[in-house]
């Protein structure tokens, strides 16, 4: 089972998505006390409040949880389209994330950030650290609306697998993407109780009225009401009327695919900021499930050693005895094909065959033992 820690965890969108996919999230690290407290209200594992730029201390603390997967989204304000177009102090935490990965060397890691972070100096540094540490990287910008989220939100993911090739998950992820973006109506049905709503982003020129028959625009850390005297926008889905309003805080969290049971605590400004900063839960779950499917598929393709080799190395058969076991399985196949299922039902069916009944008791016993061994091998 994958056991993870979440760095720069915020209120827990990434953690919840990975947890929903079946991953054991053992701890979270978050320096902002407001977000850490919110996280604690919704998860059972511990939240450690520490400055992860102190990478030496961070590596020691994180290592105590023995993770084989490290996930995290270093603060991205300085890469944001809506924020400054410069790289300042927060961007250096991308490098801290990379240095922590290098210090611990987990088999897997997932780093999330805004789409434009991929072209930053901070990520160039981090990427170099990852490659020197021996990671194969799958680097992909995902549109959340194609990953089960009713929101047009693009995010960059770097998925690292130790001692693997680059782009290992690219084809799998591509094949799992939806062919059509998810709309609010697709996700909520008619439960929202409205058809149109107003959204006012940081960029004044992009404000508009939207329909629930399209994906929501990116949820940001601000949520403003319809301004008085709103003149309308060429992209408005309908004309302004008395029923048009901005989304509530709770509705914004649902569009981020947090469950309605998720507990939010804090003032409105902080809560809106946590929601805007969060990784959509269903997007995180999509990435986590893709990683799990890749790992499971790789284990199957790296098949185990042959049945005969397994008998020698794991069951301590001599090479001659192992050949005899394989020969008995083949003899059974000539009587009745197992179609690859050497199980109890196959054995029962085999025992009903006239050609099997003609064999001596000793030979039948040897065949039964061989089939049980083949079944054990197949289950690996």
Which residues are catalytically annotated? Answer: 76
Helix, strand, coil in percent for the chain, rounding step 5: 45, 15, 40
Of 224, 238, 219, 335, the residue nearest 280 (C-alpha): 219
Angle CA(242)–CA(246)–CA(247) in degrees, nearest 5? 130
Q: Is 138 helix (H, G, I), strand (E, B) or coil?
A: strand
**How many Cα atoms sit within 13 Å of 168 on the Cβ side?**
22
Spell out the SS3 assignment of 336-379: CCCCCCCCHHHHHHHHCCHHHHCCCHHHHHHHHHHHHHHHHHHC
Of 129, 67, 75, 72, the residue nearest 102 (C-alpha): 129
State the distance between the two ends of the chain, measured CA to CA, in whole angstroms.
15
Name the maximum alpha-carbon separation found in the chain. Answer: 96
- Do residues 28 and 52 touch, judged by C-beta distance below 8 A? no
Of 264, 200, 196, the residue nearest 42 (C-alpha): 264
189: left (phi over 0), alpha (psi -120 to 50) or beta: left
Angle CA(281)–CA(248)–CA(268) in degrees, nearest 5? 85
Q: What six digits make up the tokens of 378?
A: 């197949």
81, with CB counted inside 10 A (0-12, 13-18, 19+), is middle
């Amino acid at each position: 089972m994958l056991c993870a820690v979440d760095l720069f965890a915020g209120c827990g969108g990434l953690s919840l998505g990975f947890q929903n996919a079946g991953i054991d999230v053992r701890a979270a690290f978050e320096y902002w006390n407001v977000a850490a407290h919110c996280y604690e209200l919704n998860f059972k594992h511990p939240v450690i409040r520490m400055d992860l730029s102190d990478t030496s201390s961070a590596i020691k603390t994180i290592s105590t949880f023995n993770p084989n997967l490290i996930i995290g989204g270093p603060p991205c304000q300085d890469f944001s389209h809506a924020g400054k177009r410069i790289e300042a102090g927060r961007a250096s935490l991308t490098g801290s994330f990379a240095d922590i990965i290098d210090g611990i060397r987990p088999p897997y890691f997932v780093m999330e950030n805004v789409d434009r972070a991929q072209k930053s100096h901070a990520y160039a540094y981090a990427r170099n650290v990852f490659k020197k540490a021996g990671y194969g990287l799958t680097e992909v910008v995902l549109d959340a609306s194609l990953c089960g989220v009713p929101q047009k939100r693009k995010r960059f993911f770097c998925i690292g697998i130790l001692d693997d090739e680059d782009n290992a998950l690219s084809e799998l992820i591509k094949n799992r993407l939806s062919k059509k973006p998810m709309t609010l109506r697709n996700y909520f049905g008619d439960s929202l109780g409205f058809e149109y709503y107003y959204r006012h982003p940081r960029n004044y020129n992009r404000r508009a009225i939207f329909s629930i028959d399209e994906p929501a625009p990116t949820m940001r850390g601000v949520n403003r009401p319809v301004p008085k005297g709103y003149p309308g926008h060429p992209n408005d889905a309908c004309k302004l009327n008395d029923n048009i309003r901005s989304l509530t805080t709770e509705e914004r969290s649902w569009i981020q695919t947090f469950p309605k049971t998720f507990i939010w605590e804090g003032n409105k400004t902080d809560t809106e900021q946590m929601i805007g900063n969060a990784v959509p839960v269903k997007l995180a779950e999509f990435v986590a499930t893709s990683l799990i499917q890749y790992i499971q598929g790789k284990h199957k393709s790296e098949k185990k050693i042959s049945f005969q080799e397994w008998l020698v190395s794991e069951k301590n058969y001599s090479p001659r005895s192992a050949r005899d076991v394989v020969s008995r399985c083949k003899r059974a196949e000539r009587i009745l094909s197992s179609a690859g299922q050497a199980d109890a039902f196959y054995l029962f069916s085999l025992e009903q065959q006239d050609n099997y009944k003609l064999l001596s008791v000793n030979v039948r016993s040897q065949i039964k033992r061989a089939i049980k061994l083949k079944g054990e091998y197949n289950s690996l």
